[in-house]
A and B are shown apart, each in its own frame.
Chain A
Amino acid sequence: MQRYGAVYFHAQVGSSGPLESQELALQIAGDFSPWVEQAGMNLVVMDLSGLSRQWPDEKVLARTIVQKFQDKNLLAQIAISSNRATARLVASGTAGTSIILPGQEKEFLAPLPLALLEAPLEIGEVFDRWGLRTLGDLANLPEKALAQRLDEKGMELYRQACGEDATPLLPHTPIETFEVFYAFDWPLENSESLAFTLNHLLDRLCRRLDSRSLVAEAVSLSMNLADGSENARHIRFGFPLNDAATILSLVRLDLEARPPQAAIESLLLRLYPAPPRPVQFSLVEPPMIPPEKLARTLARLCALVGDQNVGSPALLDTYRPDAFEMRPFDLNPPQRLHRRGGRQTNLPLRNAECGMRNKENRFTLNGNNSSLIPHSAFPIPQSEVVMALRIFRPSLQARVKIERVRPVSLESPVASGNIIECGGPWRTSGEWWKKDQRWAWDEWDVLLNNGQLYRLYRDLSTEQWFVFGAYD
């Protein structure tokens, strides 16, 4: 026979906070049953079926549970019933211990206030209009007539008021941590020995992840050193992994880049779990770089040139020249698609609407995440070469001689000489509403006597000249 116990509790004044008491309650309930549900902020429901051999008398079981709660400074009231809704409602509304035998549900529920059902607002208003105050009032209404007036949710509340509930218990699953602590008998000075230990520990953690169909999205390693200091590192992967060898090589690369300053006494290794990201390989498309290999490659590149110098450029939604940001290189980003006008696109809506016309009056798209723009939408003919700039970052200060409003000679760290032909000025300005980011430039394209083409600009706020880039 199915039996459920619900415990409504609250912490004694000054004993513990709501979250701690919730944790405590789940822990105590877990001592009596492996199936425990967190039914509300101060309510736990447990499956007590099959305990009749150990606890022949349910009253004794109920008293023991209450006593256990009181031992932890939690005041509790308990109800045991053959369905979880009745146990939950009675425990919430009746002080002390309630043992509800099958068939007595309606009797126990009848005097309880209707508010215990926590009905949605619109249904609650209907109950109010009908003058219902208790669960008994609701249970006494004719079912057929009620079904004509209430929706599915309303009928579910009616069945609960009648002491009927067929919904299963939703067991609470504790958040599992994938970490391991390892203390060395003697402080470890050799990185090879450390790698050997890490390999063993990572292998164990990866197998645990694998058994739960999970992968790791990051790893953290904190080490207690012989000089009393602590050395910690956190490595986030470009792609969720579950390969101990790959994770080990990433950790080793990081250890090589930032080795610990003293011998290692103990370490705490932790993997951060994430759901696996499915990758659909295609027979017709070029082969993809295996995620493990890509993660290792990116880690090596980051160790060589720094994290901020490896990634994919993403254009920003502004007219400011050279406006982009570096984003992590991810060939399989989690899909976040917007549906717009029946066609699926992963463009942000604003950018899909943002466009501009160039001098040939051709429509071109620009904006954030422009790399997400589908190829079919691209306006430049594929058979044309688009003139490219090589940008000097930051722009190089230059001395420019002006004659009849036109630049005639240039002197700068990259190029100097007479300007034999020039085009411009092309005035750009923007973000005047931002104090630190406003800009106003006059751009000039100049051809030097040595045949080199540069883009110069004059900052209108400072009247200084700069070399922005070279056409190449």
Chain B
Amino acid sequence: MLALRKIELESLLKEKHLFPNFSSFSSDFQEKLGTSLPALNDLLSGGLPRGQISEITGPISSGKSSLLYSVLAQATRQREVVACVDCNQFDPWSAYRSGLDLKKLLWVRCSQSYQLLKAADILCNAGNFGVIALDMINLKRAGLYGPDVWFRLQRIVEGTKTVLLVLSVHPQARTASRLTLSLKKKDLYWEGRQSTWKLLQGFSMEVNCARGKRDMTKVLVSRQSRKTA
């Protein structure tokens, strides 16, 4: 009886384009894109939800781009095609060292902020991209675009296998997003001594699931390797 009521209610909601079906809210039934980081997979109960908007937020140098490259790399390892829309700050060398197959990456370099969402809209409509990363770190304030814009994008990706990943300093998609990861830099690792000569080795970041699953924090370590002859 309860199941019938649920189906009835779902169909009514779907007719009005109000909400996705209930099953999409249940993380147990949600298809996920697993990351290569066990700690993050624990935090996200398997990975980033497909067919939804996810956000990675945090101040500059908190590890957002590092995490993004890792997610993109894992998607290309699974032979998925990924896209990145940004304002020409993407570093192909960092992405390559993360393991990203650059041949499977479509990079769209925007010069104006309005182009970011328009390009994301075009890519979401194309379908079959494993991950579409929308880098809005350059936008200085939160909620620059109205919720209608984000709900429109959410509707486009809903039901697809695409993870729409938004990077920003402040949350942008807010209620339209299924998941918000908040990042914070913790410790820096140096090699060598300050008095003589030292090099930056990496830093650890604290990942907090601010939306989707509360009160869980994990620490990830980010390392760098320089080009040497």
**A378, B99: Cβ atoms closer than 8 Å:** yes
Asked if B188 is at the interface (CB within 8 A of a chain A CB), the reply is yes
Beta-carbon nearest neighbor of A318 in chain B? B227
Asked if B61 is at the interface (CB within 8 A of a chain A CB), the reply is yes
Chain A positions within 8 Å of B91 at CB level: 322, 388-391, 469
Contact with A along B180-194 (1 / 0, CB 8 A): 000001001011101
Chain B positions within 8 Å of A423 at CB level: 190-192, 198-200
Asked if B161 is at the interface (CB within 8 A of a chain A CB), the reply is yes
Given contacts A324-B93, A357-B228, A390-B137, whether A453 and B223 have CB atoms under 8 Å apart is no
Bound Cα distance from A471 to B185, whole angstroms: 11
Beta-carbon nearest neighbor of B167 in chain A? A472
**A297, B123: Cβ atoms closer than 8 Å:** yes
**B79, A324: Cβ atoms closer than 8 Å:** no
Asked if B141 is at the interface (CB within 8 A of a chain A CB), the reply is no
**A387, B119: Cβ atoms closer than 8 Å:** no
Chain B positions within 8 Å of A370 at CB level: 96, 102
The B-contacting residues of A in range 361-392, CB under 8 angstroms, are: 362, 364, 366, 370-372, 375, 378, 380, 382-392
Bound Cα distance from A362 to B109, whole angstroms: 33
Chain B positions within 8 Å of A322 at CB level: 91, 93
Chain A positions within 8 Å of B69 at CB level: 386, 388
Number of contact residues on B: which range applies?
A: 35 or more
**B223, A447: Cβ atoms closer than 8 Å:** no
**A375, B223: Cβ atoms closer than 8 Å:** no
Beta-carbon nearest neighbor of A366 in chain B? B227
Beta-carbon nearest neighbor of A299 in chain B? B122
**B99, A380: Cβ atoms closer than 8 Å:** yes
Chain A positions within 8 Å of B105 at CB level: 312-313, 371
Asked if B3 is at the interface (CB within 8 A of a chain A CB), the reply is no
Chain B positions within 8 Å of A452 at CB level: 59-61
Bound Cα distance from A424 to B201, whole angstroms: 11
Chain A positions within 8 Å of B81 at CB level: 286, 288-289, 331
**B60, A472: Cβ atoms closer than 8 Å:** yes
Chain A positions within 8 Å of B137 at CB level: 390, 472
Contact with A along B93-117 (1 / 0, CB 8 A): 1111111011111111111000100
**A424, B101: Cβ atoms closer than 8 Å:** no
Can you list 18 A-B contacts (CB < 8 A)? A285-B79, A286-B81, A313-B95, A315-B102, A371-B101, A371-B102, A371-B103, A383-B37, A385-B70, A386-B99, A386-B224, A390-B89, A424-B197, A428-B227, A445-B200, A469-B91, A471-B203, A472-B64
**Which 8 residue pairs spanning A and B have beta carbons closest together?**
A371-B102, A387-B224, A371-B103, A313-B92, A445-B200, A388-B94, A309-B109, A388-B65
* Extra pairs beyond A297-B125, A309-B108, A415-B60 (15, CB < 8 Å): A289-B127, A296-B126, A300-B122, A301-B119, A301-B123, A313-B102, A366-B227, A384-B222, A389-B91, A389-B94, A390-B91, A424-B199, A447-B188, A469-B89, A472-B61
Chain B interfacial positions (CB closer than 8 Å to A)? 36-38, 59-70, 73-74, 77-81, 88-99, 101-111, 115, 118-119, 122-123, 125-130, 137, 161, 185, 188, 190-192, 194, 197-200, 202-203, 205, 220-229
